[in-house]
């Protein structure tokens, strides 16, 4: 199964000035350092919150931090205590359909695994064979989430134009599960009136159960001005767009837990109904549903485990060989 074709992506290379290992203000990522290899993401998801960031390079364009590996080695060399694991990527993706990004991804994964540092990642991309073999060979150091919001390939092409097709993501989840890697699926965002109907959710959770997935982390679409503008530009069904935005006319203005910006969230009763429907469908199939507490502080208090669950027993040696 091939990745969806699309227009070429513009790659701007620059050297990172800020630290590679960055703390996140989001509660679900507060205990693990995070790494972004790029600003912007080639997948071009029309609902992506990163569209509102000041460093967003524009559509069909990514800024690649070419010196990330060298800076990472230097940072770890200076640290008295290394991180147990790192998380990729808060606002981009390790497996973007860009050769330069994939090449850097492989080098960094290889380095981290050599140093026995765990890797947690969330991806909607196509994982190349060489990268998958590297991951499988270091399965004890990996925890993964596959982003998947619909099985409808035509809808996925509109919402996530350069991400891997849904069937490929299912296959990747199955491969990760088969080699013993904790592989959860992230159903986020659920789009009210578009991907939350009973049949769509039923088909999705049944497919996930067939792939051996045991945990779903879920969130409902939230809006910011850049996301609204993106929907207006890219959603070809104008009635669908109007219906979607209509559902947010009574939206709640709220801060994401641990962050300082406001989002427009679907009213609490509507979110509760969506999560309840998903949980009712998933539970009989042996799938646990976790709600993202960062965006739903009124509904959840625990982490959605986006960064995996790590224990100190797998602590890496105190004096690593960094070269």
Q: Residue 44 is encoded by which pair of tokens?
A: 């071009």
State the chain's maximal CA–CA distance in angstroms: 60
Q: Is the pLDDT of residue 152 over 80?
A: yes
Q: Is the pLDDT of residue 218 over 80?
A: yes
Q: Is the pLDDT of residue 316 over 50?
A: no
The helix/strand/coil state of 211 is: coil
Mean pLDDT of the region 46-59:
89
Phi, psi dihedral angles at 80 (to 5 degrees): -75, -30
Q: Residue 281 is encoded by which pair of tokens?
A: 């469908």
- What DSSP character marks residue 5? P
Nearest-angstrom CA–CA distance, 24 and 68:
18
Strand partners, 163: none
Phi, psi dihedral angles at 322 (to 5 degrees): -90, 0
- Cβ(230)–Cβ(160) under 8 Å? no
pLDDT value at position 321? Answer: 44
Residue in the block written with tokens 């790659």: 11
pLDDT band at 308 (very low <50, low <70, confident <90, very high): confident
Residue in the block written with tokens 């100190």: 312
Task: Domains for the chain: give ranges and CATH numbers.
Answer: 10-308 (3.80.30.30)
Q: What is the mean pLDDT of the chain?
A: 89
Q: Residue 237 is encoded by which pair of tokens?
A: 């069904």
Residue in the block written with tokens 């469908």: 281
Strand partners, 289: 216
Task: Determine the angle formed by the axes of helices 99-114 and 129-137, rounding to 10 degrees.
Answer: 10
The helix/strand/coil state of 164 is: coil
Which of 89-93, 163-167, 176-180, 271-275 bottoms out in mean pLDDT, i.e. has the lowest?
A: 89-93
What pTM, to 2 d.p., does this model score?
0.90
Nearest-angstrom CA–CA distance, 86 and 112:
9
Pairing of strands 85-88, 215-220: unpaired
Mean pLDDT of the region 151-169:
97
- Cβ(227)–Cβ(181) under 8 Å? no
Q: What percent of the chain has pLDDT over 90?
A: 75
């Amino acid at each position: 199964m091939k990745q969806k074709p699309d227009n070429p992506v513009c790659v701007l290379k620059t050297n990172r000035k800020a630290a590679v290992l960055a703390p996140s203000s989001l509660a679900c990522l507060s205990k693990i350092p995070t790494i972004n290899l790029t600003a912007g993401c080639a997948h071009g998801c029309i609902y992506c919150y990163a569209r509102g960031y000041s460093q967003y390079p524009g559509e069909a364009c990514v800024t690649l931090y070419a010196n990330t590996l060298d800076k990472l080695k230097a940072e770890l060399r200076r640290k008295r205590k290394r991180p147990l694991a790192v998380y990729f990527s808060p606002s981009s993706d390790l497996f973007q359909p860009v050769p330069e990004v994939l090449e850097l991804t492989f080098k960094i994964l290889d380095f981290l695994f050599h140093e026995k540092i765990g890797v947690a990642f969330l991806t909607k991309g196509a994982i190349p064979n060489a990268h998958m073999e590297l991951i499988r060979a270091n399965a004890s150091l990996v925890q993964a989430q596959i982003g998947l919001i619909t099985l409808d390939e035509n809808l996925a092409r509109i919402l996530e134009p350069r991400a891997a097709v849904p069937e490929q993501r299912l296959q990747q989840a199955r491969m990760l599960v088969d080699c013993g890697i904790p592989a959860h699926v992230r159903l986020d965002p659920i789009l009210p009136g578009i991907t939350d109907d009973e049949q769509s959710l039923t088909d999705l959770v049944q497919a996930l159960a067939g792939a051996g997935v045991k945990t779903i982390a879920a969130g409902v679409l939230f809006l910011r001005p850049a996301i609204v503008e993106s929907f207006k530009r890219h959603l070809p069904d104008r009635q669908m767009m109007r219906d979607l935005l209509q559902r947010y006319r009574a939206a709640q203005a709220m801060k994401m837990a641990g962050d300082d910006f406001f989002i427009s969230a679907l009213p609490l009763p509507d979110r509760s109904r969506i999560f309840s429907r998903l949980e009712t469908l998933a539970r009989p199939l042996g799938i646990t549903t976790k709600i993202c507490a960062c965006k739903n502080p009124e509904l959840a208090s625990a982490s959605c485990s986006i960064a995996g669950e790590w224990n100190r027993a797998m602590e890496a040696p105190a004096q690593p060989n960094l070269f």
